Chains A and B, each alone.
Chain A
Amino acid sequence: MPEWYGSFGGAYVPETLVPALKALEEAWRTARRDPGFKAELARLSREWGGRPTPLYFAENLTREIGGAQIYLKREDLVHGGAHKFNNALGQGLLAKRLGKTRLIAETGAGQHGVATAMVGAKLALRTEVYMGSVDMERQKPNVLRMRLLGATVRPVDHGAKTLKEAINEAFRDWITNVQTTYYLIGSAVGPHPFPSIVSDFQSVIGKEILRQSKQAWGGHPDLVVACVGGGSNAIGTFQPMLRTPVKLLGVEAGGSGSGLAVGSASLTKGRPGVLQGMRTYLLQDAEGQVLETESIAAGLDYAGVGPEHAFLKESGRVEYTSVTDREALDAFHRLCRTEGIIPALEPSHALAEAMRRARDLPKTARIVVTLSGRGDKDLEVVAQHAPPG
């Protein structure tokens, strides 16, 4: 379990959290070798979560684009409606193992909050979720879902009132209640060992893609594309493919794309720094103050990124790019109309870039896009924007 990805990662936390992080590392080290733990995770993933998810050939979309074949990894079909389930279940079982009685989480789009609330209900752990008040407003259905599942949603009103502030508040709660509480972080971010634990639990996505592509056409995909907020669905997709010849592409949110705006594209527009326990790429000013970000997708609206992505960018193994709000919206509508699938706005960014690349590739090439979640939560946001002309 690496603490460092090149010069990225680490555990830059207040001293009060150090013993808890060490205990977590130890719990994970033993759990991952425990057949009982693995069997329980596999059983609940299958029977409660609906795994494995299909690898689906988007035939109509492919025909419309007229280039490479586009396949979708259907994480939108996992219980709860997003890949966040994979990590929330795994860490929830770890929390039980550690004897904790209370779960806390942060959430941006609300999908991680919903997944944590489901796991809290299932495993009988009291659950409280921090969410920026701007995100509560734009992802209302998920706030209602969390409450139905028995979780308390705590609004966060500082700064931009989005994901970064929710993470800060969750850390403050954890520092205060670390003896009883498990911080179930929602992406491959934060101090060691969180990024590698989250990456391990999400790597089920990439493993299934490799197995399913072998079954479907007897080989690997040529190109695999995933959106990057904190980076959990992307690292889960890429991790099992790092030593294969598959070309890997991460897509960040470019926001409105106007002039000087940086959107939320930490890897493509940021510089290394330390935030929320990790050394990684950050959107920051010259003095190291972290900038306010903007994106139509609440789940991508974050100034940092998981440290493994920072490393994969520097090593050149993964290519990272960004897509604007408008391009993501167009891709959203196109998938709705061609395939009868309403995607979340986050993976709509990956989809937009995949469609662009498909045009320049031969019809024999195969692209897999991780469709990290479904779009029910985004209907109001989408309705506020004009449909494509």
Chain B
Amino acid sequence: MPHLGETLAARRRSKQPSLLVYMMAGSVPEERFLSTVDALKTAGVTGLELGFPFSDPMAEGPVIQQAATDALRQGFHWPDLLRLLRASSQRLPCAVMTYLNPVLQRGEARALEELHEAGGSALILPDLPVEAARPFRALRRKEKVDTVLLASPATTPDRLALLVRRTEGFLYLVSRYGTTGAGEGTTPSTQGKEGELGPLVARAHELRPDLPVLVGFGVRSREDVERHRSSGADGVIVGSAVQTRLSTGRSPEEIGSFVASLLG
């Protein structure tokens, strides 16, 4: 499979919108996970983010928290991730999303080498601040695994410039004040207001015209996808809306047609 970052950049050049899907590795049996990946590919998805479960996922809403708990309870480990990544990356370009501690305990160099060997193109760590990303960036040349940085509606213009300069592969723009899946909940930690993204996207493109900007967190409808596209973003990332279907036993076909409906 081609490299995720290169795929996204090529689609930006040819003005084709991208869509990435996040699913928690290990939250369902491997066979069902991979059939779902096949269905997503047929539906026209650009790439995948495989979540690796962490015990304390600070940026996650209830759906992905539960998926992580399920995966850990089933005894899902790093070698299982590598096996699933190897199979998934033969179908679609893949990134891995987890938290910093599992990667630190594996060792940054070893983790990136293993991800690269298993066909991974990128690593996304929501609790890795740009100030601490240097060791990962230093490994990029050898392992060709991008370290993707996140920006948010709270990001100031100066800081956005820094993030745009340092991110690799694409910029992950968090759509709202909130956790993943935000915008639908009823408790103070699951609500969350969407930010005004247009100016952030425009500024990122102005600073680095070749850099794809993808919007994620709370994307769940065709309307969301179109709104983000009209803000100038190169694509969207759908996480909780797919994971909730995966976790509640929807078939690969149902999930495929849900995602196809987002793409229109």
Contact = CB atoms under 8 A, between A and B. Distances in A.
Asked if chains A and B come from one complex, the reply is yes
Interface of A: 10-20, 104, 128, 154, 158-159, 164, 168-169, 171-173, 175-179, 273-277, 282, 284, 286-290
A176 B154 contact: no
13 contacts: A15-B150, A15-B174, A16-B152, A16-B154, A164-B56, A171-B58, A175-B58, A176-B177, A176-B190, A176-B191, A287-B78, A289-B53, A290-B101
Contacts of A10: 129, 131-132
Nearest to A158: B65
Task: Please provide the 7 A-B residue pairs with the shortest distance between their CB atoms, ordered closest to farther.
Answer: A288-B105, A172-B189, A173-B189, A288-B102, A288-B101, A16-B152, A176-B178
A273 B54 CA distance: 13
A277 B149 CA distance: 16
- Most chain B Cβ neighbours within 10 Å, of A16, A18, A290: A16
A28 B77 CA distance: 42
Interface in B52-66: 53-61, 65
A288 B104 contact: yes
Given A18-B154, A179-B177, 4 more contacts: A168-B57, A175-B58, A274-B99, A277-B127
Interface residues of B, number: 49
A274 B104 contact: yes
B28 interface: no
Contacts of A169: 189
Interface string B162-174: 0100000000001
Interface in B128-144: 128-129, 131-132
Contact of B104 (A16, A273, A276): A273
Contact of A16 (B53, B101, B177): B177
A274 B179 contact: no
A334 to B, nearest CB: 37
A273 B131 CA distance: 17
B127 A274 contact: yes
B182 interface: yes
B159 A18 contact: yes
B132 A172 contact: no
B227 interface: no
Given A176-B178, A176-B191, A13 B154 contact: no
A273 B99 CA distance: 11
Given A15-B150, A15-B174, A175-B177, A273 B105 contact: yes
Given A177-B188, A287-B106, A288-B106, A13 B129 contact: yes
B133 to A, nearest CB: 11
Interface string B92-107: 0000000111111110
A289 B55 contact: yes
A322 to B, nearest CB: 22
B128 A154 contact: no
Contact of B55 (A20, A277, A290): A290
A287 B105 contact: yes
A287 B56 CA distance: 13
B230 interface: no
Given A15-B163, A168-B58, A287 B102 contact: yes
A12 B174 contact: no
A177 B187 CA distance: 11
Contacts of A176: 177-179, 182, 188-192
A154 B187 CA distance: 9
Contacts of B232: none
B69 interface: yes
A345 to B, nearest CB: 25
A19 B151 contact: no
B72 interface: yes
Q: Considering residues A177, A276, A282, A288, which has the most beta carbons from chain B within 10 angstroms of its beta carbon? A: A288
**Which of B128, B187, B189, B190 lies at the interface centre, i.e. has the most chain A CB atoms within 10 A of its CB?**
B189
B155 interface: yes
Contacts of B152: 14-16
A173 B62 CA distance: 12
A12 B132 contact: yes
B105 A286 contact: yes
B126 interface: yes
Contact of A158 (B53, B69, B149, B191): B69
Contacts of A18: 129, 154-155, 159
A219 B159 CA distance: 50
B14 interface: no
Interface in B33-79: 53-61, 65, 69, 72, 77-78
B101 A273 contact: yes
B212 to A, nearest CB: 18
Contacts of A128: 188
A275 B56 contact: yes
B156 interface: yes
A73 B108 CA distance: 45
Nearest to B126: A14
Nearest to A272: B104
B163 A172 contact: no
Given A15-B151, A158-B65, A168-B56, A178 B105 contact: no
Given A15-B174, A172-B179, A175-B179, A275 B101 contact: yes
A287 B105 CA distance: 6
A15 B129 contact: yes
A20 B159 CA distance: 13
Contacts of A274: 99-101, 104, 127
Nearest to B52: A287
A137 to B, nearest CB: 20
Contacts of B100: 12, 274
Contacts of B151: 15
B76 to A, nearest CB: 10
A158 B69 CA distance: 9
Contacts of B187: 154
Interface in B228-242: none
A177 B176 CA distance: 10
A284 B104 CA distance: 12
